[in-house]
Structure 1
Amino acid sequence: MDELKQIPIWQGALIVLILLSQSTWLFIDARKRGSYPWFWGMWGLIQFPGPLIFYWLFVRKRWLRKGK
């Protein structure tokens, strides 16, 4: 708990803003594409930038899809 006390409030707010923005964008885009929006949205809330990278590679890039 002492580690959290050392983080300035503006850094904590920035981290929350980044995670919420990422999660919202992943959810909305995955819903448009029919690709497990709740999974991407929840994963986007707990990590950065891993979910964005994996989403871009496995959902957005057509060259990785088989048969298309």
Structure 2
Amino acid sequence: MDDVKIWVLAAVIPLMLCQSTWLYTDARKRGRYPWFWAIWGLIQCPMPLLFYWLIVRRKRR
């Protein structure tokens, strides 16, 4: 692996973990399938955040 790939991985992994943790805690607080959102948050970025905002957060308003 070259240096660029290592730096990209070093930046992406904490981002995905933070996203997944936030999705899990917020979905758990709202009772909306926290494990689903956490696992999806670990796999992709930023689609889980956008869908979470549209499906869960926006319906409550």
Q: Could you tell me the TM-score, scaled by structure 2's length?
A: 0.88
For structure 1, the 5+ residue unaligned runs are: none
Work out the CA distance in 2 between the residues paired with 1:40 and 1:13.
23
Which sections of structure 2, spanning at least 5 residues, go unmatched?
none
Identity across the alignment (%): 58
TM-score (norm 1): 0.80
Structure showing greater relative contact order (alpha-carbon pairs closer than 8 Å, 6 or more residues apart): 2
The corresponding residue for 1:54 is: 51
Name the larger-Rg structure. Answer: 1
Deviations 1:6-63 (A, max 9, x none): 443221111101100000000000000000000000000000000000000000002x
- Give the RMSD, CA atoms, in angstroms: 1.6
2:42 aligns with one of 21, 45, 51: 45
Supply the AA of the counterpart residue of 2:23.
Answer: L
